[in-house]
Structure 1
Amino acid sequence: MEPKSSAIRNEEKEIIVKVKRFSPDKGEWWQEYKLTVDRFTQMTEVLRRIKTEQDPSLSYRAACHMAVCGSCGMKINGAPMLACKTLALQLINEYGSNVITLEPMEWFPRVKDLVVDLDDFYERMYKVKPRLYPSKEVLDGKAEHRLVPEDQRELWKFAQCIWCGLCVSSCPSVKNDPEFLGPAAHAKGYRFLADPRDTITEERMKILIDSSWRCTYCYQCFNVCPRDIEPVTTIKKTRAWSSKMKDKTKVVETGEKHVNAIADTIRRSGKLLEAEVYLRTYGLVQAMTDMVFMIKSGRMKYALIKEVPIKGLNDIEKIMTLGENE
C-alpha cells in the first residue's frame, strides 16, 4: 500500500476548464476543455497545455509564471486572480468542483479571449508620474539622496505593485467615475508623494488628492491584490494630505466636511449620526431634495430616529485624540 504522503504527492485529477471565448468577428461563447492536473499545476500551465495540445486558437497573456510581471490577470471562478499564482487542485478543493471557469478581467475592453486592452489602465498609471523626480543638485552630481529606514518602511510595501490591473477590474468607482484614477495608480502615486526625495510634491497633490476622495472604500482592491499592497490604504493616506492642498476642489471640500462631521458626531454621542452627517456634508438644499426620495421609498423613518449617547464618551475621545496624533 502506497504511503499517504506519496498518494498526496502523486495526486492527479481530471478538470473541466470552461473558457469565456471572444473574438471581434464571432462575439463571445463558452468553450470546454478537459485535462489532467497534479498538485503542482498552475493555471498558466493549464492554459499552455490547452493551447499547445488541444486548441492553438486560444489567446491569453502570461510571461514570468511567478507573480512578478502581472500579465496573467483574469477572472478565475468569478474572482480576479493571477493565473500563475493559482493552482488547479487548490481551486478544486476550495470550490468542491472539478469545473474551473476562466474569463477576461472586467471593465477592460476585450481584444481576444482572455486578452484585454490595457491602454486606459496604463494612461491612468502614467498620469501619476510613476518615477522619482530628484533635485537638480542630485542630477548634477553635487549631492546624493539618502532614505532613512523609517521612510523606506513606509514606501516599500506600495512600491511592489506589478501593474496587473486586478484591483482596477474589481473596482466599482473606476467603472462609475472617469475622474477616479483607480487603486493601482493611487498605490504608485502615493509611493512617490510620500518619498522625501521627490521634488514635485505640489504637482502630485493636484493629481492625486481630488481622485482619492472619489473612492467609495469598498475594499475590493484590498481583497484581490496578489501582492498584498492594500491600495485602499494609500488612498486613505493620500486624503490626509488634503490639509496641505492650497486650491481645493469641490470634491475635496465635500470629503473633508464628511470626515469632520463623522468625527464630531462620534465625539458627541459615541455613534455615527448619519442624518446629521449627510446634512453637514451636502447642505440643506441637497438634503431636502433627497428627503423627497426618502419619503417616497419609506426610509424617512430611519432619519428621524432619536439617538441616545452611549456611556464612556471620555474613552472614545481619548482613542480619537490618540489616532489624530499618530
Structure 2
Amino acid sequence: METQSIQNNLEQREVLVKVKRYSKERGEYWQEYKLNVDRFTQMTEVLRKIKTEQDPTLAYRASCHMAVCGSCSMKINGEPRLACKTLALDIVKKYNSNVITLEPMDFFPVEKDLVVNLDDFYGRMFKVKPRLYPPKEFMEGTAEPRLRPEDQKELWKFAQCIWCGLCVSSCPAVKIDPEFLGPAAHAKGYRFLADPRDSIYEERLKILVDSSWRCTYCYQCFNVCPRDVEPVTTIKKTRSHTKFLKDKGEVARTGEKHVKAIFDSIKETGKLEEAKVYLTTYGLATAIRDMLYTMRNGKVGFAMIKEKKINELDQVRKLMGE
C-alpha cells in the first residue's frame, strides 16, 4: 500500500515548455520543448533537463536551487518568479494548462535567452553603500559594537534580500523615473540606515530620502519578492526619517507637504479631500494647470466635490493623537 502511494506521488505528467529565446544573430523567437515532470520537479530542473537532454544552446542562470542566490529570476507564465522556488506542476494546476511559458525578466537588457544584464541593478545596489561603516573607535578596539534584540528584530527582515532583481523588474516607477533607486536598493539601504552601529547616517539619508519619495506605492515589489522582504515597507520607513535631513531636495519637501496635507484633511473632516490635498501640496499654479487638463477630459466634477465632516470626528482626532 505504501509503495503504491509513493508511485502515485511520483506519477509523471508531460508539459509543454515555451521559452522566449534571444540571440544577437536571430533576435527574439519562441521555442518549444516537451518533457515529463513529477510533483517534485522544480523549474530549474526543467531547464536543466532541456539543456542536457534536448538543447545545449539554451542559456539561463541557476546556482543554489534553494532560493538563496537569486540567480534564476525570470518570468514564468508572465509572473516574476524564482525558477528554483517554482514547481512545474504547481504552475500547471494554477493555470489549468500543461503549457508553461518562460521569459527573461522585464526592464533589464537581454544578453541571451533567459539571461539578462544586471549591471544597472548592481549599480543601484552599490549606490546605497551596502555594507556597515563602523565608527573609528570600533575599528580601533576601544569600543564594542553592540546590537540590541529590538534593533536586530527591526533589521533582520530587510537583511534577507538576495539581490534577485525581481522587484526591480516589476516596478513601474523604476521604468519611468531614472532618479528612483528601486525597491531592492531601498531595502538594502534602510537595513544599514536603521543599524545603530553604522557611522554614516547623514550620508545614507541624503542618498535615500529623495528616491524614497519617488515610489508610487504600487506594491508590486511586495507581491513578487520571494523572500518576503517587503521593500515598500523600507521605503515608508525611510520617508519617516526625512525630518532629520538638513538639506532637503524639492521632491522630499513636496512629499512632506503632501503628508501634512493628508493629515490636516483627515483631522478637519475625517476624510481625504483630494482636491484640497493636491492644491496644498503642489500650489495654485500647478493646480490650475492640472485643473485645465481635467476640464478637457470631463473630470473636473470630481475635483469640485465638497466633503462633509463625518460624525464623531472627535474619535478620529483621538486616534490621531490630537
* Backbone CA RMSD of aligned residues: 1.3
SS at structure 1 position matched to 2:145: coil
Hey, which bits of structure 1, 4+ residues long, moved more than 6 A?
A: 1-4
Structure 1 Cα separation of the partners of residues 214 and 132 of structure 2 = 25
Within a 5 Å distance, the mapping from 1:1-326 to structure 2 comes to 5-6=5-6, 8-321=8-321
Structure 2 Cα separation of the partners of residues 7 and 291 of structure 1 = 67
Structure 2 Cα separation of the partners of residues 252 and 58 of structure 1 = 46
Structure 2 Cα separation of the partners of residues 183 and 294 of structure 1 = 31
Residue identity opposite 1:14 in structure 2: E
Residue 4 of structure 1 deviates from its aligned partner by 8.0
Task: Provide the TM-score with structure 2 as the length reference.
Answer: 0.98
Residue 320 of structure 1 deviates from its aligned partner by 2.3
Residue identity opposite 1:105 in structure 2: M
Residue identity opposite 2:188 in structure 1: K
Structure 2 Cα separation of the partners of residues 302 and 162 of structure 1 = 44
SS at structure 2 position matched to 1:321: coil
Residue identity opposite 1:65 in structure 2: H
Task: Note the alpha carbon deviations across 1:115-154, whole angstroms, 9 max, x for none.
Answer: 0000010010000000000011111122210100000000
Structure 2 Cα separation of the partners of residues 308 and 137 of structure 1 = 59
Structure 2 Cα separation of the partners of residues 213 and 154 of structure 1 = 21
Structure 2 Cα separation of the partners of residues 169 and 129 of structure 1 = 21
Residue 9 of structure 1 deviates from its aligned partner by 1.1
Residue 207 of structure 1 deviates from its aligned partner by 0.3
Residue identity opposite 1:41 in structure 2: T
Residue identity opposite 1:67 in structure 2: A
Residue identity opposite 2:84 in structure 1: C
Residue identity opposite 1:79 in structure 2: E
Residue identity opposite 1:177 in structure 2: D
Structure 2 Cα separation of the partners of residues 10 and 127 of structure 1 = 47
Structure 2 Cα separation of the partners of residues 167 and 136 of structure 1 = 35
Structure 2 Cα separation of the partners of residues 287 and 281 of structure 1 = 9
Structure 1 Cα separation of the partners of residues 5 and 305 of structure 2 = 61
Residue identity opposite 1:268 in structure 2: E
Residue 318 of structure 1 deviates from its aligned partner by 2.2
Structure 2 Cα separation of the partners of residues 56 and 3 of structure 1 = 36
SS at structure 1 position matched to 2:19: strand
Residue 314 of structure 1 deviates from its aligned partner by 1.7
Q: How many residues align?
A: 322
Structure 2 Cα separation of the partners of residues 30 and 2 of structure 1 = 42
- Stretches of structure 2 that go unaligned for 5 or more consecutive residues are none
- Stretches of structure 1 that go unaligned for 5 or more consecutive residues are none
Structure 2 Cα separation of the partners of residues 97 and 4 of structure 1 = 26
Residue 7 of structure 1 deviates from its aligned partner by 5.6
The alpha-carbon distance between structure 1 residues 4 and 280, as it changes in their structure 2 partners (threshold 3 A), is farther
Residue 319 of structure 1 deviates from its aligned partner by 2.1
Structure 1 Cα separation of the partners of residues 214 and 238 of structure 2 = 12
SS at structure 2 position matched to 1:168: helix
Residue identity opposite 2:225 in structure 1: C
The alpha-carbon distance between structure 1 residues 138 and 12, as it changes in their structure 2 partners (threshold 3 A), is same
Structure 2 Cα separation of the partners of residues 30 and 320 of structure 1 = 56
Structure 2 Cα separation of the partners of residues 6 and 299 of structure 1 = 62
SS at structure 2 position matched to 1:44: helix
Structure 2 Cα separation of the partners of residues 77 and 321 of structure 1 = 47
SS at structure 2 position matched to 1:307: coil
Residue 2 of structure 1 deviates from its aligned partner by 8.8
